[in-house]
């Protein structure tokens, strides 16, 4: 929760920091579960719709998202262009539809990178203990003590503008959350009798990790990942808003909002279309993430 305010996109990454606050969050969760009866289906619907739109973009989009028509730039929403046109006369709706792909890819891939890298680091740290543990966790602390957006900006600048750079940058920013989580799981599992017995019998480390640690740690990692996707989408939008991310003429919701920023007076619809898409998707994904948490995390169930 801590650190969520300046750039709300990075909220959950920082949530790992204020572990103590989570104690009283259980109340919150109880309530959310009660409300979920209605919200989870909504979230699922949003997610399915977003996936469908992303997949069927070529069919759904009324226009070529790249086709310019300078003569009809900045047209207000109307029958020809349901969400209006942008500063070079492209159809905003078509670009919002194609932008869904970018946003979903950004959300899922960057979290996948973070989950994978974080898990491996967490296992290495937790299992080896001692110096390796100290080193890995200090590096994670160092990453966490950067202002996240500035870190992502700097990484983006190093990696070069483009979606790949942003995916990696976000992956790095989110990695410590997963590393901490995984390390905690490893330490818990390692202390269990059967694992100690296996170690005493000389089972190799990788097999213990594979057979005992992973199955136990999978659930919390999946929960964390599902909650992170929504925020990763927001983060990608924030970075695109600052000019990193997908390169023109490609469209992501964040870059569209950025391009429309200068036209707020003349053509606010350039911002409204992608803004609404972004907001609805993130809310929906949050509901889905909550539902997954309830389904998988035994401690929170019931």
Partner 1 sequence: MSVSRREFLKTCAVMSSVPMVGLAPGVAAAQAPKKGGTLRVGFYIEAATMDPHLSGSKVDRQVYHNIYEPLVTLDTKLGIRPGLAESWSQPDPRTLVFKLRRGVRFHDGTDFTAEAAKFNFDRMKTEPKSVRKGEVASIDSVDVVDSHTIKINLKRPDAALLATLTDRAGMMISPKVVQERGAELQRNAKGAGTGPFEFVEWVKDAHLVIKRNEGYWNRQGGPYLDRVRYRPILDDTVKLQSLQSGEIDVMDYVQPRDVAAVKADKNVVVLDVPSLAAFAYQLNHQKPPFNNKALRQAVAYSLDLEQIVKGVWLNVGVPANGPIPPTSWAYDKSIPYIKRDLAKAKARLAEGGKPGGFEFTMTTANIPINVQEAEVIQAQLREAGITTKIKLVDAATQLSDGNSRNFEMISYQWSGRPDPDGNIYQFFRTTPGTSLNWSGISNPKLDELLDKTREVSNQAERKKLYSELIRLLQDELPMVYTVHPVEPKAFSPRVQGYEPIPDGMMRFKDVWLK
Partner 2 sequence: MGRLIAHRLLATIPVLLLVTAGVFALLHLTPGDPIDAMMAESVDATAKDALRRELGLDRPIPVQYAAWMGRLLRGDLGRSIRNGEPVIENVSRRIRPSLELALLAMAISLTIAFPVAIASAVHHNTGVDRLGTTFALFGICMPNFLLALLLIFLFGVTLRWLPISGYVDPLEEGWAGVRSLVLPAVTLGLALAAVVTRTLRSSLLDALAEDYVRTARAKGLAESHVIRRHVLKNALIPVVTVLGLQLGTLIGGAVITEYVFALPGVGRLVVDAVFARDYPLVQGVILLIAVGFIASNLLVDVLYGWIDPRIRLR
For position 149 contacting partner 1 by CB under 8 A, the verdict is no
Q: Supply φ then ψ for residue 295, to 5 degrees.
A: -70, -35
Number of residues forming the site for partner 1 (CB under 8 A)? 22
Q: Supply φ then ψ for residue 134, to 5 degrees.
A: -60, -45
Distance in Å, CB of 102 to partner 1, minimum: 15
Task: Find the binder of partner 2 among 52, 55, 158, 218 (CB under 8 A).
Answer: 158
What SS3 string covers 189-239? Answer: HHCCHHHHHHHHCCCCHHHHHHHHHHHHHHHHHHHHHHHHHHHHHHHHHHH
* CA atoms 4, 293, 101, 266: torsion sign: negative
CB neighbours of 234 closer than 8 A, spacing ≥ 6? 8, 9, 278, 282
For position 247 contacting partner 2 by CB under 8 A, the verdict is no
For position 88 contacting partner 1 by CB under 8 A, the verdict is yes
Q: Which is nearer to partner 2, 209 or 289 (CB)?
A: 289
Q: Which is nearer to partner 1, 77 or 243 (CB)?
A: 243
Partner from partner 1, partner 2, none contacting 259, C-beta within 5 to 8 A by type: partner 1
- Let me know: does 90 contact 73? Beta carbons within 8 Å: no
* CA atoms 206, 207, 208, 212: torsion sign: positive
Task: Find the binder of partner 1 among 248, 298, 299, 302 (CB under 8 A).
Answer: 248
Number of residues forming the site for partner 2 (CB under 8 A)? 59
For position 68 contacting partner 1 by CB under 8 A, the verdict is yes
Site map (CB under 8 A) of partner 2, residues 124-143, x = contact: --------------xx-xxx
Choices 26-34, 36-44, 45-53, 243-251 (CB under 8 A): range interacting with partner 1: 243-251
Structure tokens that stand for 294 in this block: 């309830």
Task: Find the binder of partner 1 among 247, 272, 295, 297 (CB under 8 A).
Answer: 247
Burial classification of residue 283, based on how many CB atoms lie within 10 Å of its CB (0-12 exposed, 13-18 middle, 19 or more buried): middle
Distance in Å, CB of 40 to partner 1, minimum: 39
Q: Supply φ then ψ for residue 85, to 5 degrees.
A: -125, 160
Partner from partner 1, partner 2, none contacting 88, C-beta within 5 to 8 A by type: partner 1
Partner from partner 1, partner 2, none contacting 198, C-beta within 5 to 8 A by type: none
Q: Which residues bind partner 2 (CB under 8 A)?
A: 1-9, 11, 14, 17-18, 20-21, 23-28, 31-32, 34-35, 138-139, 141-143, 145-147, 149-150, 153-155, 157-158, 230, 234, 237-238, 241-242, 254, 257, 261, 264-265, 268, 271, 275, 278-279, 282-283, 286
């Amino acid at each position: 929760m801590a650190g969520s305010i300046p750039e709300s996109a990075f909220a959950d990454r920082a949530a790992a920091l204020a572990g103590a606050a989570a104690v009283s969050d259980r109340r919150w969760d109880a309530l959310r579960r009660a409300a979920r009866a209605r919200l989870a289906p909504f979230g699922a619907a949003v997610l399915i719709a977003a996936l469908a739109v992303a997949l069927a973009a070529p069919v759904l989009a009324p226009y070529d998202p790249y086709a310019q028509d300078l003569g009809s730039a900045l047209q207000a929403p109307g029958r020809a262009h349901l969400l209006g046109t942008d500063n070079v006369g492209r159809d905003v709706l078509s670009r919002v539809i194609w932008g869904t792909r970018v946003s979903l890819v950004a959300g899922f891939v960057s979290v996948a990178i973070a989950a994978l890298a974080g898990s491996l680091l967490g296992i290495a740290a937790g299992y080896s203990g001692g110096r390796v543990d100290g080193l890995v966790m200090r590096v994670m602390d160092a990453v966490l003590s950067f202002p996240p957006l500035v870190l992502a900006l700097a990484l983006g600048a190093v990696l070069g503008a483009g979606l790949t750079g942003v995916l990696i940058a976000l992956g790095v920013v989110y990695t410590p959350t997963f590393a901490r989580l995984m390390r905690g799981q490893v330490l818990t599992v390692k202390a269990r009798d059967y694992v100690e017995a296996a170690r005493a019998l000389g089972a190799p480390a990788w097999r213990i990790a594979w057979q005992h640690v992973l199955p136990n740690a999978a659930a919390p990692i999946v929960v964390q990942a599902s909650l992170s996707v929504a925020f990763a989408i927001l983060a990608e939008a924030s970075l695109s808003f600052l000019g990193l991310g997908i390169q023109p003429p490609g469209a992501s919701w964040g870059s569209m909002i950025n391009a429309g920023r200068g036209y707020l007076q003349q053509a606010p619809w350039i911002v409204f279309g992608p803004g609404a898409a972004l907001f609805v998707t993130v809310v929906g994904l949050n509901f889905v993430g909550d539902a997954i948490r309830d389904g998988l995390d035994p401690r929170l169930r019931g």
